[in-house]
Amino acid sequence: MENSCLYCAGEIVEVMSWCSIFSKEKSFLCVKCESQLEKIKGKRCRVCSRSLETLPPELIKGEVCFDCFRWESDPKWQGILHNNTSIFYYNDFLKDYLAQYKYRGDYELAKSFTPHIKSCLKSLHFDIIIPIPLSKKRLYERGFNQSTALLEKLEVRPSNNLSRTHSEKQSKKSRRERLVKEQVFRLDESNVEGKSILLFDDIYTTGTTLRQAARILKVAGAVEVSSLTVARG
């Protein structure tokens, strides 16, 4: 079916409104699936984009969450990642959606994020956008880099300045273990001096991976490094 939902294959019924009449964006998800993509709204952590409205008071330090407070209290990491912008909550629906996209090779699912990412990019200022790279092993297993594919659907040409130096999965390690293994990335092209860099990835979890990448870029002369992610875990 040509006008079917990318995720559930149900029929997409266009809801007529003034916005839809003038918008050129095509819908790739049905109303039910689209409604399960929960945008992060309200007061957020100034650094990582985490919703502060869902946190207990003891995990909030001024304008930041406790995790970012710890990062910014460490002189080694303070200011390394200027800030992160995340679009959606990493809820159960998005978790399953991204799993189907990344691990089961459903490449076309990337299309549903294009209008949201495009809109977000318009409000961000950067000179170079760099997707977080996969290791050679992960790239071989999946067949594509999920972050690069999302940008390609937008017809955004990313820079492949970074490469991974090892293939261990960061999310399965403790915070201490992740920080001990700091040399996760290698800078392959030194054209970042004096530039504002935007890192791009699918999920922000602990922020370790993004900060490790940002640190290499800052050492190479980048003026500022921020990030954009589809989801905030």
pLDDT at 123 over 70: yes
Domains parsed from the chain with CATH numbers = 1-35 (no CATH), 38-232 (3.40.50)
pLDDT single digits (tens) 171-191: 555 555 555 556 789 999 888
pLDDT single digits (tens) 40-68: 999 999 999 999 999 999 999 999 999 99
Please, which residues have CB within 8 angstroms of residue 204's CB and are 6 or more apart in sequence?
48, 49, 84, 86, 210, 227, 229, 231, 232, 233
Q: How does the average pLDDT of the chain come out, rounded?
A: 89
Residue 230 CA to residue 89 CA, distance in Å, equals 9
Residue 202 CA to residue 139 CA, distance in Å, equals 15
pLDDT band at 21 (very low <50, low <70, confident <90, very high): very low
Alpha helix segments (H runs only) across the chain = 18-22, 31-35, 66-73, 92-103, 114-122, 136-142, 146-153, 175-180, 208-219
